[in-house]
Amino acid sequence: MSATLSAQPGPVTGVEIKAYDHHIALRWDQHPNPTVTDVKVYGKTEDGNFTLRGTVNNVTTDYVDFLGDFDVTSSYYLRAVGIGSQEGQPSDTVTATTFEMNDSMLLDMVQEYTFRYFYDFGHPTSGLARERNTTATVTSGGSGFGIMALIVGAERGFITFEQARQRTTKIVDFLLTVPRFRGAFSHWMNGTTGRVIPFSALDDGGDLVETAFLIQGLLTARQYYSGDTPEEVALRENITQIWEEVEWSGYQQPGDNVLSWHWSPANQFAIDLPLRGFNEVHIAYLLGIASPTAANKIPASLYHTGWAGANDYVNNFSYYGIPVLVGRAKGGPLFFSHYSYLGFDPRGIKDRYTNYFTRNTNQTLINYEHCQDNPYNRVGYGPTVWGLTASDNPGGYLAHSPNSSAEDNGTIAPTAALSSMPYTPELSMAALKHFYRELGDKIWGRYGFFDAFNQGANWYADSYLAIDQGPIICMIENHRSGLLWDLFMQNPEIGPALQEIGFTTDSTTTSINQVPQFLTSKPSVFPNPARGFTNLTLELERGGNISVDLFTQDGRSLGQVLPPTRLQAGAHQLPLHLRPRLKSGYYLLKINGPGGSATVPLLLTD
């Protein structure tokens, strides 16, 4: 053995430390010595001694130490491990102290860590999103989510605009080279060659739904990279080419009045899976109708016979006093309310069937109430532990939902509550704090929250999935700024498609997060739940006439509970007497003021 190879490895360099609410993050430079196999992390709190906190391979250059509280000071040094497990000299010692973060800082933290899955862990050749953290296989739908995550990363300062543009260009350039099937992409691909990796035995061709998720992300990017540099112009042109070449009409079987999910040259429509709602495929119909290529478009009538064509699409079901509106049973897994709405903004509009912001809010509330009711006595459920959706679980992978005991096996996925942030901001934020502060030692890692956990089975995933990570960062951003909603809806093809379908404006429901200009902050009600009486607290930016209307969750007006009343600027508490004999359930209070309105949810009980 040469003297060089047997020598003690030099110290780890470039060690950086950053403190958060309940954890500390370390980053460092990869050790240049090819004989170094691992890096050991040593740490101590203020009055303790240095002990081994963890070991990572030399490819990994970061470490999360979850300390479990605020105001904890911890110091660290690192040692490289070489041949014969020989440890090198200690690195510089770094020290930091955890601190209580406000809500905005916590949201920044969750978004930044989740973003890293798509940027730091993106496939090195194609830039596309890997299906999960244990594979090099890339996913077309998850990559659509990842393209939108890059935009959020640039806007939040996690990377620069140019870094986001370069990565998006890399992705788009690669997509132009891979096999397509009537213009649609396969579900899975080899991230280096673009070769199709079959999702199942017959699924060796195009997946229209995954393609729709990808196009949703690409069209959002086309609006974001709007500059006149040659690079941005070329990026937009290439996205448009991909968009124009998707043959949505080619996924309608002859004689059918519905789109089909799959087609391949070898197996044709053998899978024969129709795209009928309500589920995650809403965006496929919108994009098919919006297609700029006449030969590839589908008629708007297919939206009604296909997407909404099931006999039980519209229903009168109600659970916990909350109407389902459209869909089946208790609404299904929560990803139904996420995937199609990362770009497609459901606020303030409705088709002939429903307002989808209301519908998605209702599904989220039913999901929440089911976990509070906990009919199957699953361990750990409560006001801050809820959210059933598709995720890994102790037995593999399942689309968890409140619909049955088989679908609710006690597995909670953080993406369910966090990606519902636009619909239930207070409930979702409370869940975020609990997941991080109380369970973070088990479910928080280098890319944010792990996929799922099941406390009854004492099982905590160590997996990350692109289709669960993407909605977290994107829907939190839509809650905070509406950024992705605004960008996607600006595409010139979307408005006319909505008109063809028959969407109309619906001002009864808007995002609960919106605060109109006449208010200085979001109004609140107490008590809530209420029994016939509650108090509305609001603070006016300026004086004016204020009135309050009461609506059902499906937008039906129940009249005014406060007639127009002149109020001065400043804080006010207004007693509201509600109509007697109203059924228990969720309602909306709409506060009308000069130039705008705000909506506040209200739960009435017997």
Domain parsing of the chain, residue ranges:
3-100, 105-503, 524-604
- Beta strands (DSSP E) in 339-497 are 349-350, 390-393, 396-399, 444-445, 448-449, 453-454, 459-460
Over range 159-166, report the average pLDDT: 97
pLDDT tier at 39, thresholds 50, 70, 90: very high
For residue 161, the Cα-to-chain-centroid distance in whole angstroms is: 21
Q: Please compute the mean of the pLDDT values over residues 584-603 and round it to a whole number.
A: 82
Q: Which residue has the tokens 């047997």?
A: 6
Helix (H) or strand (E) holding 232: helix 230-245
Residue entry with tokens 């170094």: 36
402 falls in which pLDDT band (50, 70, 90)? very high
Beta bridge partners of 282: none
Q: What is the pLDDT of residue 4?
A: 47
CATH of the structural domain 3-100, one choice from 2.40.30.30, 1.10.510.10, 2.60.40.10, 3.40.50.300: 2.60.40.10
Question: Which residues, in sequence order, are CB contacts of 125 under 8 Å at separation 6+?
Answer: 174, 191, 192
H/E element holding 576?
Answer: strand 570-577
Q: Residue 62 — pLDDT band, cuts 50, 70, 90?
A: very high
Predicted pLDDT at 605: 75
Rounded mean pLDDT of 390-396?
97
Mean pLDDT of the chain: 93
% of the chain surpassing 70 pLDDT: 96
Mean pLDDT of 313-327: 92
At the second CATH level, the architecture of 524-604 is Sandwich (2.60)
Q: What is the mean pLDDT of residues 235-255?
A: 98
pLDDT of residue 3: 41
Place 1 in a pLDDT band, splitting at 50, 70 and 90. very low
Q: So what's the pLDDT on residue 509? A: 58
| 3-100 and 524-604: identical CATH topology | yes
Read off the pLDDT band of 514 (50, 70, 90).
low
CA of 268: how far to CAs of 58, 143, 242, 248, 295, in Å?
Answer: 46, 25, 22, 15, 20
Per-residue pLDDT at 506: 87
Residues 6+ apart with CB under 8 A from 34: none
Q: What is the pLDDT of residue 554?
A: 60
Mean pLDDT of 416-444: 96
Residue 2: per-residue pLDDT: 43
Please tell me which residue, 473 or 525, carries the higher pLDDT value: 473
Instruction: Evaluate if residue 583 carries a pLDDT over 90.
Output: no
- Sorting pLDDT into bands at 50, 70 and 90, what band is 516? confident
Cα–Cα distance measured from residue 13 to residue 31, given in angstroms and rounded to the nearest whole number: 8
pTM: 0.86
Looking at CATH, the fold of the domain delimited by 105-503 is given as Glycosyltransferase (1.50.10)
Per-residue pLDDT of 91-149, as tens digits, reads 999 999 999 999 999 999 999 999 999 999 999 999 999 999 999 999 999 999 999 99
DSSP H helices in 60-186: 103-119, 140-155, 161-175
What integer pLDDT is reported at residue 367 of this predicted model?
97
